[in-house]
Amino acid sequence: MTVSLVEEARGGPFVYWDGLENACQEASRLGFHGIEIFAPGPEAVDQVMLKDLLRTHSLQLAAVGTGAGMVKHGLSLTDRDSDRRTAALAFIERMIDFGAQFSAPAIIGSMQGKWTAEVPRPQALSFLQSALNRLGAYAAARGVRLLYEPLNRYETNLIKTLADGAALLSQLETNNVQLLADLFHMNIEETNIEGAIRSHCSVIGHVHFVDSNREAAGRGHLDLAEIALALRESGYKGFVSAEALAIPDSHSAAATTIATYRTCFGP
């Protein structure tokens, strides 16, 4: 279950918006196993309180997002300015440190940025590759993986499919980076969602379980039973995380997600 603590992102694809306590209570009550946090920065989370909440509600921290580096500070790993790229790396390193306290991986999604006239595609990909090498090793030294998320064409022009993501990973010097398969992005970019999952499952480390319209799983037109079957038959053991719009509201989105999850994956 996702929870956003970033006010600037309100209306974005996160299920809970009103603090960690509320999110943990609801997630636990509905039967979720973990929460995924989208935070403005590590200092925005009282880590002692979070530890307490997770223990009280028998939840794990599934992952931490880093997109606030882009949303709040305009940072990206492929910025033309080397000081800005360094600041982006530093922001993500602090988020990796935060997640590592809870054995949770950090996610690189929008922080990958885009290629532009000033930073042509080969240059942007080279910046991204060296950032993933450095951050992958940084995460490995702290005992956690790093997740890299291909996005749809309206959010990036760099890496949009699992195949391109897997090719990028295969060129890295670290094997500590895995792909995040987000079903909303995949619905736009993949030729065949189940086929892409089956082909690249060995490098999938996390799934955003969401429907075609970015609403809760079950509120769109994806064949989630077939997608779940592809994940199960490929031996996927990671989280499937509800990164979805709070439509019609947080509680309904959460309840619909868990009902769909149980239909697809079993009780």
Q: For Mn ion, give the closer residue by CB, 53 or 62.
A: 62
* CB-nearer residue toward Mn ion: 53 or 95: 95
Q: How far is the CB of 52 from Mn ion (least distance, A)?
A: 28
Instruction: Spell out the residues 6+ positions from residue 124 whose beta carbon is closer than 8 angstroms to its own.
Output: 78, 113, 114, 115, 116, 158
- For the residues of 137-149, what is the DSSP string, one character each? HHHHHTT--EEE-
- Residue 6: helix, strand or coil by DSSP? coil
Alpha helices, DSSP H, located in 8-72: 20-30, 47-56, 68-71
**Closer Cβ to Mn ion, 200 or 208, answer by number:** 208
Q: How far apart are the first and last CA of the chain?
A: 17
Min. distance of Cβ 149 from Mn ion in angstroms? 6
Q: Which residues bind Mn ion (CB under 5 A)?
A: 182, 208, 243
Q: Shortest Cβ contact with Mn ion: which residue?
A: 182
53/253 with CB nearer Mn ion:
253
CB of 46 to Mn ion, least distance (A): 25
Least spacing, CB of residue 162 vs Mn ion, in Å: 13
Q: Answer whether the bond into residue 40 is a cis peptide, omega within 30°.
A: no
Min dist CB 129 to Mn ion, Å, is: 21
Query: Which listed residue (93, 149, 190, 215) is catalytic?
Result: 149
Structural element, H or E, at residue 38? strand 34-38
- By beta-carbon proximity to Mn ion, the closer residue of 119 and 204 is 204
| DSSP per-residue letters across 211-261 | -TTSSSTTSSS--HHHHHHHHHHTT--S-EE------S-HHHHHHHHHHHH
**Is 98 within 8 Å of 64 (Cβ atoms)?**
yes
Distance between CA 67 and CA 260 in Å, rounded? 27
36 flagged as catalytic: no
60 contacts: CB under 8 Å, gap ≥ 6: 33, 34, 35, 54, 102, 103, 104
Catalytic residue among 26, 189, 194, 243: 243
Q: Which residues does the annotation mark as catalytic?
A: 149, 243
